[in-house]
Amino acid sequence: MNWSIPWTQILLAAYVLMVVLTVLRVLYKQHNTGTAFAWLIILFVFPLFGVIAYFMIGEPRLGQARAQRNEEMNRFYGAFAEHYLSSRHVDVEHEMGRRYHGLSKVASAITGLEATRGNRMQLFSTTDSIVEAMMDDIEAAEHSCLLMFYIIEPQGRIAHLLEAVAEAAQRGVHCTILADAVGSKNFFTGPWPDRLHEAGVNVQVALPVGPLRTLFTRVDLRNHRKLLVVDGRIGYTGSFNLADPQYFKKGAGVGEWVDVMMRCQGPAVLEMAAVFFADVAVENDENLHEVQRYLTARYQHMLPDLLPAEPPQGGIIAQVIPSAPEQSEQVIHDTILCALHAAKTRITITTPYFVPDEPLLIALTTAARRGVEVTLIMPAKVDSLLVRYASRAYYPILLEAGVRLALFEGGLLHAKTITIDGDYTLFGTVNMDMRSFFLNMEISLAIYDAGITAEVEALQRQYRAQSHSVNVHAWQQRSPWWGLIENTVRLMSPLL
């Protein structure tokens, strides 16, 4: 009697077992229902591809060593306000609108970074004004110049800015550049890192990639932050990458990118610096020790000059909110949801990519149904075909609820802003999609101030004036094939 089992049956059994185990892992690990459902569809339709893809990009793996360093830097976040900011700077509840007390605590409970008073801010909305202001501050730097950007493309005006950083380093200013390995690939493969290093600039790569790293870490988790801190006194953040729109992605057919940045002074700048130092430190053990030495030996001695004993009267209340996949809670996602549910009169959002999950969609539609004026401004053309189709699948739901949709015609509107009721602004690097909420390292400014909110709202109105509105009846008259395509792509929206 032949008891041998054909190899084909063994391979088939192993294949089935592998798929079943992956399905069980998805059900166990994925707490977001939409994400779990999307992965199950892929596993059932494309089993082998689905198994490989899930173990490559299905879970936010950043490696054990990085996780340990991140725990140490999270403790740094938690102790930052206590050591670097006095109670005079974080005692803001009596100056903040009562309904925002809990909203600020949603973030501070996770990040350890509190809302602070005594800040000053200036909004920049054109590439020329952004680059000129950043150049002026870099050229005037005396002690330090810290840059962290997802994309660095050293062409046009950005080449001049990098030259200014090199000149600052040559005159003795401590200069560090941290750039994402994927977003700034062209920068790292060109001559600029060597040129900057020769000038004395410390150039660091964030989240490096490679075939071997793919086995241990998830390679599509990116550092999407944009940040410049000069002398610990001046900080910039917003949607602007170090990329000149006259050169960047000219063949994409979407027009020039339209961005915004906020120039900040005050205690919030120290929180921005904390985010920068933490991101540099978690890359490797050498960085961790170097950052700890720098903060102990140099930065603490500068604090008396950086912060006045008493914050100036009439300053802006603001809170820096860093978000990352390593956090136990999804701080920026939760902050946005709380802000939308707190809205009473109006919500205006600008975002280049809109692929919401169910809680965000419910927050927007229920706000519109209870009488809040909800306006969503997006670019008419984006550089991702899948995102374009997935976004459109949500239009009927939003329009039927009364949400106003405006498609910007003046280029790729890359600004990420949310204004609520004329006195609250969320401003930074976060897109309204699952990648920004759950995968990327992002940074946001929560601004509890009517004056700055009025400026951002005025800019939003300018964007809307360059947009065309989406009409619910015209949208329903389209060919039903478009709806089929868009809703099919929408099934994968939790993974985009």
- Residues classed as catalytic: 224, 226, 231, 414, 416, 421
Provide the b/e sequence for 135-152 (b: ≥16 CB within 10 Å): bebbeebebbbbbbbbbb
Give CA separation, 50 vs 6, 41, 285, 387, 408, in Å. Answer: 26, 9, 35, 20, 36
Distance CA 195, CA 152 (A): 15
Provide the b/e sequence for 90-103 (b: ≥16 CB within 10 Å): bebeeebeeebeeb
Amino acid, res. 161: L
Distance CA 258, CA 463 (A): 10
How far is C-alpha 95 from the chain's CA centre?
A: 28
Neighbouring CB atoms inside 10 A of 166's CB total 17
- DSSP E strand stretches across 114-238: 116-124, 144-149, 152-153, 174-180, 202-206, 226-230, 234-238
With vertex at residue 179, the alpha carbon angle to CA 172 and CA 129, rounded to the nearest 5 degrees, is 75
Residue at token pair 């949607």: 239
SS3 for 254-308 is CCCEECCEEEEECHHHHHHHHHHHHHHHCCCHHHHHHHHHHHHHHHHHHHHHHCC
Distance CA 190, CA 175 (A): 19
Residues facing residue 468 across a β-bridge: 407
How far is C-alpha 423 from the chain's CA centre?
A: 22
**Spatial contact of 363 and 395, defined as CB atoms under 8 Å apart:** no
**Spatial contact of 278 and 69, defined as CB atoms under 8 Å apart:** no
